């Protein structure tokens, strides 16, 4: 094999390193040598760091040391297995972070986030993620993608156009579809008023999606002023939760009423309390309780923010097994509905790709996409953990640096 592989490896809480890795094979040792003749090997051209990776790197999951990280992969196909018919060497592609077989009941019904054939322990799998089937991470120079014909989204058009838009297209593997899914399933449409909790990359992608869907007002809440400034930069209203605990009151100042039509949780289980008293303490149910309160009766709540079934770093016994203090009566009394789980990326990535290619949306700019070399991944993780208002894209072959 011509080139060697290197990638990002989780070592211990707060520590990732870049290591030499085996070159990917069309076979998965972690699933008893499962053959992947339906798979493709990619040269990775862009691979992003995600808030979901941070849960593992902060020691808030049962991720084992030695796990290769990375589920947001964009690349060029360099080899295909015997059973791949339509994807070809040289194709430039986006990889949905969910691994899906295309053959089970859930895949056939478009629930590709809970495929039944790719993880022995439970439905649903992802690259480089704890409890997600043992698939290798894609924050690397090379990666393997199973069921290539089904999973890969091929970019149309000439190579130069694709390369020029690669920082935007790189967001199709996860956060843009994820943010869109949160908004769409919450019922956001033309003229909606929306509250988005969290101004990390997923929250900013969700706010972008709300505007693309035609929302009248998008209000983003966080306690990170830099990230809120980023949201204001493309037309959102913001609430600084380090100053204001009562989200309804703040919404009323903006809209004249204390409720929105729809809301989206882009925070997840590491949520911190809101307002002066709680802002630094973790309160895993606070976002969900706030959203039930500030969403109008019969409104929808999208929950892309991640919730776990086991959290070794939780503050109390209940949270350690993922049991939270939900005031579900609030939501019940208002007939609210919610949608949660992994985003089925494939349901949205093609449409969002077209919106990017035809300049209907500027997702890289809105999330402040920032390209760094693969070897600087440890610094990227550390800065992202400190709350940088950036979405880091690793550039394993210098292809993005060359294009820019």
CB 128 to ligand NAD: min, Å: 13
Q: Which residues contact 346 (CB under 8 A, 6 or more apart)?
A: 96, 98, 100, 110, 112, 151, 153
Contact 342, 305 (CB under 8 A): no
CB under 5 to 8 A by kind: which of Zn ion, ligand NAD, none does 319 bind?
A: none
φ/ψ of residue 258, rounded to 5:
-85, 15
Chosen residue from 69, 111, 208, 222 binding ligand NAD by CB under 6 A: 222
Chosen residue from 46, 50, 210, 361 binding ligand NAD by CB under 6 A: 50
At 263, list the tokens: 């809301």
CA distance 61 to 50: 15
CB under 5 to 8 A by kind: which of ligand NAD, Zn ion, none does 107 bind?
A: Zn ion
Note whether 31 binds ligand NAD by CB under 6 A: no
| Closest CB to Zn ion among residues 77, 345 | 345
CB 97 to ligand NAD: min, Å: 7
Question: Parallel, antiparallel, or unpaired: how do β-strands 217-222 and 237-240 relate?
Answer: parallel
Note whether 167 binds ligand NAD by CB under 6 A: no
CB under 5 to 8 A by kind: which of ligand NAD, Zn ion, none does 199 bind?
A: ligand NAD
CB under 5 to 8 A by kind: which of Zn ion, ligand NAD, none does 101 bind?
A: Zn ion
- Within 13 A of 132's CA, how many CA atoms are on the CB side? 27
CB 45 to ligand NAD: min, Å: 20
- Residue 94: closest CA among 26, 157, 164, 155: 155
How many binding residues for ligand NAD (CB under 6 A)? 34
Note whether 368 binds ligand NAD by CB under 6 A: no
Q: Which residue is nearest to Zn ion (CB)?
A: 50
| Closest CB to ligand NAD among residues 177, 187 | 177
Note whether 81 binds ligand NAD by CB under 6 A: no
φ/ψ of residue 5, rounded to 5:
-105, 145
- Residue 325: closest CA among 275, 280, 276, 287: 287
In Å, what is the CA distance from 15 to each residue of 8, 266, 362?
10, 25, 32
Give Cα 261 distance to the centre of its chain.
24
CB 347 to ligand NAD: min, Å: 12
Chosen residue from 200, 331, 380, 396 binding ligand NAD by CB under 6 A: 200
| Closest CB to Zn ion among residues 45, 115 | 115
CB 279 to ligand NAD: min, Å: 8
Residues of span 292-331 touching ligand NAD by CB under 6 A: 304-306
Note whether 70 binds ligand NAD by CB under 6 A: no
Would you say how long the chain is, in residues? 404
Q: Is 19 helix (H, G, I), strand (E, B) or coil?
A: strand
- Residue 150: closest CA among 89, 88, 103: 103
CB 271 to ligand NAD: min, Å: 4
CA distance 209 to 26: 36
Transcribe 146-200 into DSSP letters.
SSHHHH-EEPPS-HHHHHHTHHHHGGGGTHHHHHHHHHHHTT--TT-EEEEE--S
Interface with Zn ion (CB under 5 A): 50, 52, 100-101, 104, 107, 115, 117, 174
Note whether 264 binds ligand NAD by CB under 6 A: no
Query: Which run of H or E residues covers position 74?
Result: strand 73-80
Contact 299, 187 (CB under 8 A): yes
CB under 5 to 8 A by kind: which of Zn ion, ligand NAD, none does 187 bind?
A: none
| Closest CB to Zn ion among residues 100, 199 | 100
Residues of span 328-367 touching ligand NAD by CB under 6 A: 342-343
- Contacts with ligand NAD by CB under 6 A lie at 50-52, 54-55, 174-175, 178, 197-203, 221-224, 227, 241, 266-268, 271-272, 274, 286-287, 304-306, 342-343
């Amino acid at each position: 094999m011509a080139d060697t592989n290197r990638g990002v490896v989780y070592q211990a809480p707060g520590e990732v390193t870049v290591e030499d890795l085996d070159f990917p094979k069309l076979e998965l040792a972690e699933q008893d040598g499962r053959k992947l003749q339906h798979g493709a090997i990619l040269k990775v051209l862009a691979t992003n760091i995600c808030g979901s990776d941070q849960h593992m790197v902060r020691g808030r999951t049962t991720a084992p040391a030695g796990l290769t990280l990375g589920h947001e992969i964009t690349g060029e196909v360099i080899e295909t297995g015997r059973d791949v018919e339509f994807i070809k060497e040289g194709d430039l592609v986006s990889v949905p972070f969910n691994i899906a077989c295309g053959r089970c009941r859930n895949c056939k019904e478009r629930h590709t986030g809970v495929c039944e054939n790719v993880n022995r322990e439970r439905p649903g799998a992802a690259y480089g993620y704890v409890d997600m089937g043992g698939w290798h991470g894609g924050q690397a120079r090379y990666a393997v993608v199973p069921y290539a014909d089904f999973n890969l989204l091929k970019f149309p058009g000439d190579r130069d156009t694709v390369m020029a838009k690669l920082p935007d297209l790189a967001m199709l593997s996860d956060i843009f579809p994820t943010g869109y899914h949160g908004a769409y399933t919450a019922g956001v449409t033309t003229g909606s008023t929306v509250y988005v909790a969290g101004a990390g990359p997923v929250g900013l992608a969700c706010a972008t999606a709300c505007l693309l869907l035609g929302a009248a007002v998008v209000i983003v809440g966080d306690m990170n002023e830099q990230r809120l400034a980023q949201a204001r930069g493309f037309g959102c209203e913001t609430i600084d939760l380090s100053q204001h605990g009562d989200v309804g009151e703040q919404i009323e100042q903006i809209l004249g009423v204390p409720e929105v039509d729809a809301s989206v949780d882009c925070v997840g289980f590491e949520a911190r309390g809101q307002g002066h008293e709680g802002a630094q303490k973790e309160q895993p149910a606070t976002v969900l309780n706030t959203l039930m309160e500030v969403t109008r009766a019969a409104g929808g709540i999208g929950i892309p923010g991640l919730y776990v079934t086991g959290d070794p770093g939780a503050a109390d016994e209940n949270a350690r097994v993922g049991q939270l203090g939900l005031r579900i009566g609030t939501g019940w009394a208002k007939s609210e509905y919610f949608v949660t789980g992994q985003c089925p990326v494939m349901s949205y990535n093609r449409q969002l790709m077209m919106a990017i290619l035809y300049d209907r949306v500027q997702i890289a700019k809105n999330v402040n996409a920032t390209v760094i070399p693969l070897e600087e991944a440890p610094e990227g993780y550390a800065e992202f953990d400190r709350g940088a208002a950036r979405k880091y894209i690793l550039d394993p072959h210098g292809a993005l640096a060359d294009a820019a």
